[in-house]
Structure 1
Amino acid sequence: MRTNFKPSGKRCDHLRQKYGSPLLLSDYASQEEDQHMHLLDEIEVDNKHYAVMQPLGGRDGYLFFVDHQQESLHLHHIEDEGEWEQIAEVVDEMLCYDEYSSK
């Protein structure tokens, strides 16, 4: 077992500081209804910002890329399957690290 293991991402809180949680998400590009989401975690990987979110009352978690545009932050679905897999793996690493380091 590696005792000096560090996850490959780092936590951040840009969305939480700016908007709090839960967040009301609106998709202006489609006609879908607005959705309230819990902000579970935010991470930075390779200088990119990602958010882990869960619908209020839901069980599934969702990964989003957070785009920093001027003064606002915009969430985007992660389209690239390889990027999604990488970020999901980093989230898993961080959860395991948290569990291990809290013992």
Structure 2
Amino acid sequence: MNQKLQRQWHLLAYFFVAYVLISSSYRILKAVTIFDLAILKSFLLWPSLVLLCAIFLFSLWLYQKSGKEWKMYMQDKKFVRLFFFVGFGLAIVLAVITDYVI
């Protein structure tokens, strides 16, 4: 896989980290209840959900763009497959459960 595609996949991983930081800070502040929940939702909940949607769309676009190179790279790197598919699925499920159900 060429360097440009690898950098774009790494950028996607950095978006995951940003999502985790934003959504976990929302959950921590929600548990402490120091702040008003309306303020928390407007500044921390909605940006994290928008970022999660952006991650999903970016990953779909990047997967289509990479094509055969990405499939070969994922066959070589089992951890990458585990991270992107299981990790992304868990991120979506946990975001929906913790932000809307609880």
Shared fold, TM over 0.5 = no
- Higher Cα Rg: structure 1 or 2? 2
Structure having the larger proportion of residues in strand: 1
Give the TM-score normalised by structure 1.
0.29
- Given the two structures, how large is their TM-score scaled by the length of structure 2? 0.30
Higher RCO, 1 vs 2 (CA within 8 Å, ≥6 residues apart): 2
